[in-house]
Amino acid sequence: MSNRTLNLTDPLYDYVLAHSLREHPAQTALRDATRGHERATMQIAPEQGQFMAMLVKLTGARNTIEIGVFTGYSALSVALALPADGRILACDISDEYTRIGKPFWAQAGIADKIDLRLGPALARRR
Ligand SMILES: C[S@@+](CC[C@H](N)C(=O)[O-])C[C@H]1O[C@@H](n2cnc3c(N)ncnc32)[C@H](O)[C@@H]1O
């Protein structure tokens, strides 16, 4: 896991972001809000979020599961790519982390697509 793609020089990574990353303003704002967090390196890379969104669109997914939300960047990326009736079952054990992302989900207008469950993800298998 890394919050940037590995094995790229800084100039090449900057080029990738400048020329291929298309973020919703709420995604950019959520990355900014997470940057100073003591566990910020847990956040996925923005290009990974964009890749996940592409997979959602390519597969026509309507329902997805996320295990490990942190501040919600990947959930936001997937929710933006899902159709209007799409849903994410999102699991995390931390209210402290996940509540950081909720205002940005609302800002993007996709909060109703994310069903956040707090608790160990495995415990949901019943
Ligand atoms: C690498 S971070 C997830 C990054 C996130 N997908 C993002 O886009 O920023 C891992 C997350 O898993 C959560 N976690 C750890 N153990 C868990 C468990 N048993 N069930 C659900 N979530 C868990 C942690 O609280 C943490 O927020």
**Structure-block tokens of residue 85:** 């009736």
Run of H or E including 15: helix 10-20
User: Looking at residue 70, which CATH number applies to its domain?
Assistant: 3.40.50.150
pLDDT-based confidence at residue 123 (cuts at 50, 70, 90): confident
- Per the structure, the count of domains in the chain is 1
11-45 per-position pLDDT tens digit: 999 999 999 999 999 999 999 999 999 999 999 99
Using a 6 Å cutoff on CB, does residue 83 contact ligand 1? no
Q: Whose CA is nearest to atom 8 of ligand 1?
A: 74
The whole domain housing 45 covers 10-124
Burial of 111 (0-12, 13-18, 19+ CB in 10 A): middle
Using a 6 Å cutoff on CB, does residue 42 contact ligand 1? yes
Determine, yes or no, domain membership for 112.
yes
Using a 6 Å cutoff on CB, does residue 94 contact ligand 1? yes
Determine, yes or no, domain membership for 5.
no
Q: Is pTM beyond 0.85 here? A: yes
Other C-beta atoms lying within 10 Å of the C-beta of residue 108? 19
